[in-house]
Structure 1
Amino acid sequence: MPSFVMWRRSQLHLHQLPAASAFRSLSQSTSIPKKLQRVRDYAFDGIMEVEKKVRRALQLQSILLSQPSASLPVSRLDALARRYLSFEPHEVGHFLLKHPHVFHVFDHPVQRLLWARLTPRAALRLRHESEALRSMLPDAVRRLRKLLLLATPSRRLRLEHIRVARYDLGLPDDFEQSVVLAHPSFFRLVASSDCPDDPRSKYVEFVDDPADAEELADLTVCAIERTREREYRERGTDAEDSRFAFLVNFPPGFKIGKYYRVAVWKWQRLPYWSPYEDVSGYDLRSLEAKRRMEKRMVATIHELLSLSVEKRMPMERIAQFRQAIGLPKKMKEFLLQHQGIFYISTRGNQGKLHTVFLREAYYKGQLVEPNELYLARKKLGELLLLSPKRANLDRMLTSLGRGTDVLGKGASGAKMDLPEGQLDQISEDEDSGSDSGVESQFVE
């Protein structure tokens, strides 16, 4: 049967859910099991393998950019990385030589020591990310407003928690000034009455304007609600089946029994309260109310991941909002119950890091709806994956003293002096990954 074949492929779509009459004769329990084994999805694990290199590169990049000349001796960089970033001995040197498209290792002309700095491609990528972050600032303001609305009924979050998650939310490092204090009509920064002098006790509150009720109504529309509307218009699914349903796409190899299918079908039709709705006044002691609250938690995590730039977030950062937005205590077990909606990857930090992906936002390892900031960050991973044999252009330019940092200055502090056509050619080479036309004499 077609539905059986689709389920063997571990694909569940709203229009393929079985009718209610097909399961009236079943007397088995139809609740979703509380404990399920995690089934690996290598498409998402592959993303985290690249992300592991990206995190290492960003850590070393932050040390280099903290120096006035944006460069350091390799021995000094190795010592700082071992002390503050938990690098292994000699790991920095191997990493630098393995990724010459991002880091340039050269002989210092005076000290006769090996030094390291960023390549022009890495500096250009850093500038693109900074420009994308600046251009997407209005979107960041909207994301932060929606995040505060999730914290019902107080509509406020700890400033330190937002600071920890600023990279995932697409907020600049100085978001306290550039976002919170720069928009007093949207946000209010308050201090806790218990410790008013402690900077970690500050909170960011949502400022409600009663005159702008239409905009508030638009902010409280969840991403899954817009997805349901799009699916309903494109696929013509049954309105009753899709009213409270989520897009479910199980990983390959996920075993789906007939009773589990019934449980998922019943769960998809279960009504629930919106994550933006205040439920503090409801009686939540009944079994039906508890089931609705559990589904509301799924919708809350779904909305939180939808607010992130890359539709993924470390589980530890999600858990820090647990009390504010009403999330379960056993986060991992809860997410494993819904492996068709979320995926937990343990790759990237020897199993110590758990990254939660929103499955519907990705297709074949790529974001379905990419944004400028995501594309700018993705270029660093592409540079890290390039073959070291094709690093001639970067080595040539940095050897000539024309390497640039994010401020458009060379490693020695002098301004970059390249003809406009040549700079455009560098950008084209960066996009294509080609280093053709560079002779082998520039290979050190």
Structure 2
Amino acid sequence: MVVQVPKGEVLMGRLRSWLQFNGNAHNVFAKMPERKVLPGESPFRRVCVRLMTTSKRVQDRSKEKKVRELEVATEKWKIASKVMFLMEMLKSEPDMIMTVRSLEQYRRQINLPKPHKISDFIRKSPKLFELYKDQRGVLWCGLTNEAEDLLDEHDGLLEENGDKAAEHVTRCLMMSVDKKLPLDKIVHFRRDFGLPLDFRINWVHKFPELFKVVKLEDGEEYLELVSWKPAWAITELEKKTLGLTEESDDHKPGLLSLAFPMKFPPSYKKMYRYRGKIEHFQKRSYLSPYADARGLEAGSKEFDKRAIAVMHEVLSFTLEKRLVTDHLTHFRREFVMPQKLMRIFLKHCGIFYVSERGKRFSVFLTEGYDGPELIDKCPLVLWKEKLLRFTGYRGRKRDIPTYSDTLEMEERELLDSGSGDDSLSVGFEKYDGDVVTDDDEMDIDEVNDAYEEDDKV
């Protein structure tokens, strides 16, 4: 007896086998129940529909928690990150120039999808980047004089920020369960903490009294704490709430009963419904991020509140009081935090704000912002805002000169004292996504589960 299998089910089986072989079946079919494919229906279409509807549910369920001002801030910082990445790539070249074709390999890093051209992205910032063709017609990109001056200024600010960055890295080591962290993970915080490009090569060796690089048996390099600093075991919340200073050399971290500052989205009406639960949460004691947390039971209320304190502390260290959520998930084991961090962020939307703009999610410390503006701006943040004023182009497109034309242009510039910027204006184009440095991204199913859990509260 021969049993005929519908063609649609055969295709679905092949697709499922292919994804299992490539290790992606869980992501695609985790929420996909077994059911027959309708006649004439493509299994590939169903996969696409499933993924898109899941994403749409996430957006619909978070409408009342949207904060437009912080979404604007997200877009602003992401644009700056993209431009900074290209500037750093050009700076790393001996002559600080690269062919546009070579820059194409960094599409993923600036999240520039096809068919958009990277040359068009570069043209958006004519005050920072120059395009020209050589005698063979090859298109090259270089930095303007203003861009080189900005990079020199940035290097000076990074040098000045070195001691503060070293303190924040040390305090992260003090919060870790083994008092050491993999260098491959710390590098994700490079821009957020204000660390230089040579972080792994030179910078980590400049503070031998604080930490050192060790290589374990598996060959992985770690940054290990050298000496415990009692004065640095005081949380940022203790400093603000209790007025504690770093002058104490005998401070011992323990239980805390400090309320977290909260700013709810204006349209979040559930705040009044859950006022009692919020007050109860604020009064609950929790272990300091710098205390030993190995005795806490995973999943307990004390465990979760201590995780909130850890995330609050790490976000307080960042320049923008903002992080890509993936970067925090890298440290779940080292900082003794729950697997479902997104659930914590969404449940406590008065402390944190999650922006879904772009390919990756960002989490903000709400107390750090007044509308779209960061309240405390360090020199590196002010520099980044200065950089943003050099981006954006809404005038007519400039013709790309050949190499011989640039020589004539340089001669004319010696005689012409005008700025030539009449057609330039600051304007931000929407390029969703942040600078991606790894393939580890927040699973959309995890986000969806977090919203479902939050709706049950």
For normalisation by structure 2, the TM-score amounts to 0.67
Contact 1:396 1:442 in 2 (8 A): no
Which residue of the other structure, out of 278, 297, 302, is the alignment partner of 2:292? 278
Of stretches 167-176 and 314-323 in structure 1, the one that deviates more from structure 2 is: 167-176
Separation in structure 1 between the aligned mates of residue 407 and residue 86 of structure 2, nearest angstrom: 21
| Aligned residue number for residue 321 of structure 2 | 311
Q: Tell me what 1:101 maps to.
A: 127
Cα 1:257–1:163 change in 2 (3 A) is closer
1:151 aligned residue? 176
CA distance in 2: counterparts of 1:69 and 1:402, whole angstroms? 23
Deviations 1:69-127 (A, max 9, x none): 222344x246444588664245212212222122122354x445543222222222222
Query: How far apart in 2 are the matches of 1:179 and 1:219?
Result: 20
Three-state SS of the structure 2 residue aligned to 1:72 is strand
Q: Which residue pairs with 2:338 in the alignment?
A: 328
> Who is 1:262 aligned against?
276
CA distance in 1, matches of 2:388, 2:262: 29
State whether residues 140 and 171 of structure 1, in contact with CA within 8 Å, keep that contact through their aligned partners in structure 2.
yes
Structure 2 residue aligned with 1:235: none
Tell me how far apart the structure 1 counterparts of residues 155 and 87 of structure 2 sit (CA, whole Å). Answer: 14
Q: CA deviation at 1:256?
A: 2.7
The residue aligned with 2:347 is: 337
Code of the aligned partner of 2:373: Q
5+ residue gaps, structure 1, are: 1-35, 210-215, 232-241, 404-417, 419-434
| Map of 2:221 onto structure 1 | 202
Q: Which residue of 2 aligns with 1:56?
A: 82
One-letter amino acid of the counterpart of residue 391, structure 2: L
User: In 1, distance between residues paired with 2:412 and 2:333?
Assistant: 51
State the distance in 2 between where 1:170 and 1:187 align.
Answer: 17
Give the equivalent residue in structure 1 for 2:188.
Answer: 164
Cα distance, 1:312 vs structure 2: 0.9
Q: What is the one-letter code of the residue matched to 1:49?
A: E
Contact 1:345–1:355 (Cα < 8 Å) also in 2: yes
Give the alignment of 1:31-110 within 5 angstroms.
37=62, 39-74=65-100, 76-77=101-102, 79-81=104-106, 87=112, 88-89=114-115, 91-108=117-134, 110=135
- Taking only the aligned residue pairs, the percentage that are identical comes to 28
| Map of 1:221 onto structure 2 | 234
- After TM superposition, give the deviation of residue 53 of structure 1 in Å: 2.7
Match of 2:216 among 189, 192, 210: 192
2:371 aligned partner? 364
Q: Aligned to 1:383, what secondary structure does the other structure show?
A: coil
Deviations 1:213-272 (A, max 9, x none): xxx2210110111222369xxxxxxxxxx9520110101211135440111011111111
SS of structure 1 residue aligned to 2:287: coil
Q: Residues 159 and 361 of structure 1: is their aligned pair in 2 closer, same or farther, counting only changes over 3 Å?
A: same
CA distance in 2: counterparts of 1:89 and 1:402, whole angstroms = 36
> How many Å separate the matches in 1 of 2:161 and 2:151?
15
Which among 219, 244, 260 is matched to residue 246 of structure 1?
Answer: 260
Greater relative contact order (Cα < 8 A, sep 6+): 1
Are the equivalent residues in 2 in contact too, given 1:78–1:89 (CA < 8 A)? no
Corresponding position: 1:124 with 2:149: yes
SS at match of 2:258: coil
Q: Distance in 2 between matches of 1:271 and 1:62?
A: 45
Whether the 8 Å contact between 2:264 and 2:271 is mirrored in structure 1 is no
Does the Cα contact within 8 Å between 2:354 and 2:361 map onto a contact in 1? yes
- Give 3-state SS (helix, strand or coil) of 1:323's partner: coil
Give, in whole Å, the separation in 2 of the partners of 1:177 and 1:230. Answer: 38
Q: How many residues align?
A: 345
How has the CA–CA distance of structure 1 residues 55 and 246 changed in structure 2, closer, same or farther, with 3 Å as cutoff? same
**TM superposition shift of 1:133:** 0.5
**For residues 258 and 72 of structure 1, what CA distance do their matches in structure 2 show?**
56
Contact 1:119/1:398 (8 A) holds in 2? no
Unaligned runs of 5+ in 2: 1-60, 245-255, 399-404, 425-457
Of residues 299, 307, 318 in structure 1, which corresponds to 2:309? Answer: 299
TM-score with structure 1 length normalisation? 0.69
> 1:436–1:303: structure 2 CA closer, same or farther, 3 Å change rule?
farther
CA RMSD in angstroms, aligned pairs only: 3.6
Which one-letter code corresponds to 1:333 in the other structure?
Answer: R
Task: Name the CA shift for 1:79/1:248 in 2 (closer, same or farther; >3 Å).
Answer: closer
Alignment partner, residue 239 of structure 1? none
Distance 1:65 1:397, change over 3 A: farther
Instruction: Read off the aligned partner of 1:278 and give its amino acid letter.
Output: D
The residue identity in structure 1 corresponding to 2:241 is: R
- Provide Cα deviations, 1:286-329, integer angstroms capped at 9, x if missing partner: x9xx2222111111100011111221111000000110001111
